């Protein structure tokens, strides 16, 4: 079994801390007096500094210490929280990421530049606050008359503290920063060498601290380990003794800790359980446990499940052609279990789209400062779940769409005010599930898309012929052409015509489509329709001529019978009447040029994407099929009718129909027939 790289583990945890810190900073911007958010940011910086020092990232720990100190002053009310401070720490966080990625790089100049910004944001106090007074300097002032307090602290960490990532030396260093500090180790609990466990911690400490800091600052040093440790804090010098104790669950036997401070009569470890568990009778609810698994292992497991589904399909086919009752029973059990395993695997890969939306809060904040625009970001449907692969591949396209909405769509505050709008522009990110696809929408209330400008740019670029007749949707879709941009000059945000091209290519690679709606002066809305998953889907297996094809079951609305008479009657105008509405249909036999005669009783499979629907005429509906999607080869990347392939139970290959493309073909055919009529 391979050992985990501790440095990689730290980097993973650091990435999570960066997300927490960034989220806390952006939440703080909405209410600069929110003490909960101030405390949350401080704790995140505190943890990052301690963990960085423990894993050898000294430059990160030293730099983060200054940001932590600045927020410590805010937390204590010494300086106010301001938008400038938040912006400075956000910029500093980007530098912290660089210190994690390249710890041995030359970062001194950037560190000083950012620290200057940080000092300016807190009124020039961050520089001095970042350095703790030397113990000798404190000792000269260590008299009760000068407002200093003498504390005696006895503490013992749990035996597994170092295994869980706690560095006792780091805690002692933080205590030294609070004032004049002397430390004595309690080693009486050390067992004989034969009984010693190398990974366990047996030492306790007694600390005498003379400081002008309050008791809460001492407790904050142990804020992340307090619940599992022994902790006794006494104030010496005429004031009442104050103690705060915790017991170690599953600690060493009492006789091995004879030197430990006396325990209080009633340990409070049991009281640490949150009240929300409702365990008033002493029985505690079992807490949920999460296990971190590398994404590569999930992908590998998904591949194995896919192969199992294919093998199960083969077994079902063999059982269906056999008279052995026991074989059929086993086949049904395997089919049920493989289906349940597939569903469980799909749930493991599903990620709330809110994890993707959260990234854009920082982007909007930075773009607002860069463009001088007032921007409000709203998100809806964050709990909608999508396959993790889809989430990863949608990140860059959504960045381009949000940047485009802010740069091209939203007007400056004075222009919005002149047009009778609120000075603050609004960008809305929303997600919702519609059948087997997720619809992600980017909407703004800006100036909208100028059709005349788009047409002029397209004609000058040779994308369309002058005066060409285009539908409104075809005209708007031109903004996704390579090299297309209506920006008058190249800026950091736009002008090169590459962003929207990336969006189209990525969405098409995900078997998705893009819908655009725009009203000049009112804003634009771009909707991305993406399949929920890219791995295994439920499909409807059909036969056209001698070949088998799979239609994604999520797109299927209903199936109808098309008699030979109805087929002949509809020649020239391929429509069927479906509950007082006309639905266009495509003859797949003609589209695929099978060269075979139609079956006497053909079937029409009605499919839809969004509000559009068409019928597909097939020779036979075979039934449902668990479809493991296999990508098409590079030689077939121009074949737009199919989105992939799958392996059937008999080992043959069935192509998966691209529903989006077929609906588009059907709608275009309908439009041409109406124009001709």
Residue 616 located in a structural domain: yes
Where residue 14 sits, what CATH number does that domain have?
Answer: 1.20.120.160
DSSP bridge pairs for 644: 656
Give me the sheet containing 374-380, strands edge to edge. Answer: 374-380, 424-434, 437-444, 523-531, 513-519
Where residue 585 sits, what CATH number does that domain have?
Answer: 2.30.30.40
Least confident span in 107-121, 217-231, 367-381, 520-534? 217-231
Question: CA angle at residue 670 from 667 to 671, to 5 degrees?
Answer: 90
Same domain, 616 and 637: yes
Q: Name residues whose C-beta falls within 8 Å of residue 236's C-beta, 6 or more positions apart in sequence.
A: 150, 151, 152
Give the model's pLDDT for residue 389: 82
Same domain, 378 and 333: no
Mean pLDDT of 167-188: 84
What single-letter DSSP state applies at residue 526? E
Give the model's pLDDT for residue 31: 87
By residue range, what is the domain housing residue 72?
6-129
Relative orientation angle of helices 35-54 and 58-75, to the nearest 10 degrees: 160
Q: Sign of the C-alpha dihedral, residues 41, 45, 51, 52?
A: positive
Give the model's pLDDT for residue 474: 80
Give the model's pLDDT for residue 285: 42
Residue 21 located in a structural domain: yes
Give the model's pLDDT for residue 130: 38
Same domain, 28 and 157: no
pLDDT at 402 over 80: yes
**Which of 639 and 495 is assigned the larger pLDDT?**
639
Same domain, 177 and 315: no
Give the model's pLDDT for residue 333: 92
Percent of the chain with pLDDT over 70: 81
Give the model's pLDDT for residue 140: 37
- Say if CB 551 and CB 617 are below 8 A apart: no
Residue found by looking up tokens 């990689």 in the block: 8
Query: What does the alpha-carbon distance between residue 367 and residue 614 come to, in Å, rounded to a whole number?
Result: 42
Same domain, 545 and 600: yes
Same domain, 242 and 312: no
Query: What does the alpha-carbon distance between residue 100 and residue 95 come to, in Å, rounded to a whole number?
Result: 9
Mean pLDDT of 190-196: 84
Q: Sign of the C-alpha dihedral, residues 355, 359, 362, 368?
A: negative
- Say if CB 405 and CB 364 are below 8 A apart: no
Residue-wise pLDDT for 649-663, tens only, equals: 777 888 888 887 787
Residue-wise pLDDT for 566-613, tens only, equals: 677 666 567 777 777 778 888 888 888 888 887 878 889 988 876 678
Query: What does the alpha-carbon distance between residue 18 and residue 67 come to, in Å, rounded to a whole number?
Result: 13
- Say if CB 382 and CB 354 are below 8 A apart: yes
Least confident span in 171-175, 494-498, 612-616, 665-669? 494-498
Residue 578 located in a structural domain: yes
Provide the 10 A C-beta neighbour count for residue 626: 20
**CA-to-CA separations, 565 to 568, 613, 661, in angstroms, rounded:** 5, 23, 28
Residue 433 located in a structural domain: yes
Residue-wise pLDDT for 261-307, tens only, equals: 433 333 333 333 333 334 344 434 444 466 777 778 888 888 888 88
Residue 282 located in a structural domain: no
Same domain, 373 and 513: yes
Assigned token pair, 551: 């239609």
Query: What does the alpha-carbon distance between residue 361 and residue 85 come to, in Å, rounded to a whole number?
Result: 17
Same domain, 62 and 208: no
Question: Which of 129-138, 167-176, 409-418 is modeled with the greatest confidence?
Answer: 409-418
Same domain, 495 and 363: yes
Query: What does the alpha-carbon distance between residue 57 and residue 11 come to, in Å, rounded to a whole number?
Result: 11
Q: What is the pLDDT confidence band of residue 499, given thresholds at 50, 70 and 90?
A: low
Q: Name residues whose C-beta falls within 8 Å of residue 380's C-beta, 6 or more positions apart in sequence.
A: 428, 429, 430, 431
| 129, 149, 170 - which closes a domain | 129
CA 250 to chain centre: 37
- pTM, full prediction: 0.63
Q: Sign of the C-alpha dihedral, residues 154, 158, 161, 164?
A: negative
Give the model's pLDDT for residue 66: 87
Same domain, 311 and 186: no
| 329, 351, 373 - which closes a domain | 351
Q: What is the pLDDT confidence band of residue 514, given thresholds at 50, 70 and 90?
A: confident
Same domain, 380 and 498: yes
Same domain, 444 and 492: yes
Where residue 393 sits, what CATH number does that domain have?
Answer: 3.30.565.10
Give the model's pLDDT for residue 489: 52
Assigned token pair, 640: 């737009």
pLDDT at 75 over 50: yes
- Say if CB 249 and CB 274 are below 8 A apart: no
Number of domains into which the chain is organized: 5
Give the model's pLDDT for residue 526: 92
Query: What does the alpha-carbon distance between residue 413 and residue 398 come to, in Å, rounded to a whole number?
Result: 24
Q: Name residues whose C-beta falls within 8 Å of residue 551's C-beta, 6 or more positions apart in sequence.
A: 539, 540, 542, 605, 607, 616, 656, 657, 659
- Say if CB 482 and CB 501 are below 8 A apart: yes
Residue 265 located in a structural domain: no
Residue 279 located in a structural domain: no
Relative orientation angle of helices 6-30 and 359-371, to the nearest 10 degrees: 60
pLDDT at 88 over 70: yes
Residue-wise pLDDT for 241-262, tens only, equals: 333 433 333 333 333 333 444 3
Q: What is the pLDDT confidence band of residue 426, given thresholds at 50, 70 and 90?
A: very high
Give the model's pLDDT for residue 1: 41
Query: What does the alpha-carbon distance between residue 54 and residue 43 come to, in Å, rounded to a whole number?
Result: 16
Give the model's pLDDT for residue 202: 87
Residue 287 located in a structural domain: no
| 531, 549, 582 - which closes a domain | 531
**CA-to-CA separations, 453 to 290, 479, 522, 583, in angstroms, rounded:** 53, 11, 17, 35
Where residue 155 sits, what CATH number does that domain have?
Answer: 3.30.70
What single-letter DSSP state applies at residue 106? -
Mean pLDDT of 139-152: 60
- DSSP H helices, 559-658, are 564-569, 588-591
Mean pLDDT of 305-325: 86
């Amino acid at each position: 079994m391979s050992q985990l790289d501790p440095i990689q583990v730290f980097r993973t945890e650091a990435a999570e801390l960066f997300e927490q810190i960034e989220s806390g900073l952006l939440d703080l911007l909405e209410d600069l007096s929110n003490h909960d958010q101030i405390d949350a940011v401080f704790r995140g910086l505190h943890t990052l500094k301690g963990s960085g020092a423990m894993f050898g990232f000294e430059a990160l720990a030293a730099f983060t210490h200054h940001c932590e100190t600045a927020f410590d002053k805010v937390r204590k009310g010494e300086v106010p929280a301001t938008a400038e401070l938040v912006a400075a720490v956000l910029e500093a966080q980007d530098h912290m990421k660089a210190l994690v990625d390249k710890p041995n790089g030359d970062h001194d100049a950037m560190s000083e530049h950012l620290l200057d910004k940080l000092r300016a944001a807190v009124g020039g106090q961050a520089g001095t606050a970042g350095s703790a007074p030397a113990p000798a300097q404190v000792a000269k002032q260590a008299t009760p008359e000068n407002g200093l307090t003498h504390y005696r602290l006895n503490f013992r960490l749990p035996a597994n503290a170092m295994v869980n990532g706690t560095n006792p030396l780091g805690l002692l260093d933080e205590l030294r920063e609070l004032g004049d500090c002397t430390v004595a180790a309690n080693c009486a609990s050390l067992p004989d060498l034969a009984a010693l466990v190398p990974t366990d911690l047996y030492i306790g400490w007694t600390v005498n601290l003379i400081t002008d800091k309050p008791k809460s600052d001492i407790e904050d040093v142990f804020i992340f380990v307090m619940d599992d440790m022994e902790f006794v804090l006494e104030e010496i010098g005429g004031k009442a003794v104050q103690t705060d104790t915790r017991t170690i669950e599953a600690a060493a036997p009492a006789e091995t800790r004879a030197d430990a401070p006396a325990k209080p009569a009633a340990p409070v470890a049991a009281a640490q359980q949150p009240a929300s568990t409702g365990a008033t009778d002493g029985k505690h609810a079992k807490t949920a446990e999460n296990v971190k698994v590398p994404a590569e292992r999930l992908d590998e497991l998904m591949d194995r499940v896919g192969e199992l589904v294919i093998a199960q399909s083969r077994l079902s086919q063999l059982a269906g052609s056999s008279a052995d009752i026991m074989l059929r029973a086993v086949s049904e059990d395997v089919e049920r279990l493989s289906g349940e395993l597939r569903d469980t695997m799909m749930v493991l890969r599903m990620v709330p789209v809110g994890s993707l939306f959260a990234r854009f809060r920082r982007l909007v904040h930075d773009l607002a400062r860069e463009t001088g625009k007032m921007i409000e970001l709203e998100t809806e449907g964050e709990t909608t779940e999508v396959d993790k692969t889809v989430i990863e591949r949608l990140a860059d396209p959504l960045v381009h769409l949000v940047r485009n909405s802010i740069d091209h769509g939203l007007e400056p505050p004075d222009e919005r005010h002149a047009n009778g709008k609120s000075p603050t522009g609004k960008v809305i990110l929303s997600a919702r599930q519609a059948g087997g696809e997720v619809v992600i929408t980017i909407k703004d209330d800006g100036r909208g898309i100028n059709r005349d400008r788009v047409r002029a740019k397209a004609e000058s670029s040779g994308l369309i012929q002058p005066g060409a007749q285009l539908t409104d949707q075809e005209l708007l879709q031109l903004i996704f052409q390579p090299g297309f941009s209506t920006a008058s000059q190249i800026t950091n945000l736009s002008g090169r015509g590459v962003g929207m091209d990336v969006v189209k290519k990525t969405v098409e690679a995900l078997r998705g489509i893009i819908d655009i709606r725009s009203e000049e002066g009112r804003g634009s809305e771009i909707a991305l329709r993406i399949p929920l998953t890219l791995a295994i889907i439920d499909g409807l297996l059909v036969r056209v001529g001698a070949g088998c094809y799979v239609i994604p079951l999520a797109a299927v609305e209903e199936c109808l019978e098309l008699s030979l008479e109805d087929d002949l009657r509809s020649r020239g105008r391929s429509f069927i009447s479906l509950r007082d509405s006309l639905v266009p249909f495509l003859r797949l036999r003609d589209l695929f040029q099978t060269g075979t005669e139609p079956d006497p009783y053909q079937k029409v499979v009605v499919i839809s994407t969004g509000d559009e629907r068409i019928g597909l005429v097939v020779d036979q509906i075979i039934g449902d099929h668990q479809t493991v999607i296999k990508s098409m080869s590079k030689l077939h990347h121009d074949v737009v009718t199919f989105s992939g392939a799958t392996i059937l139970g008999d080992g043959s290959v069935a192509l998966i129909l691209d529903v989006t493309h077929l609906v588009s073909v059907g709608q275009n055919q309908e439009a041409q027939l109406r124009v001709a009529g």
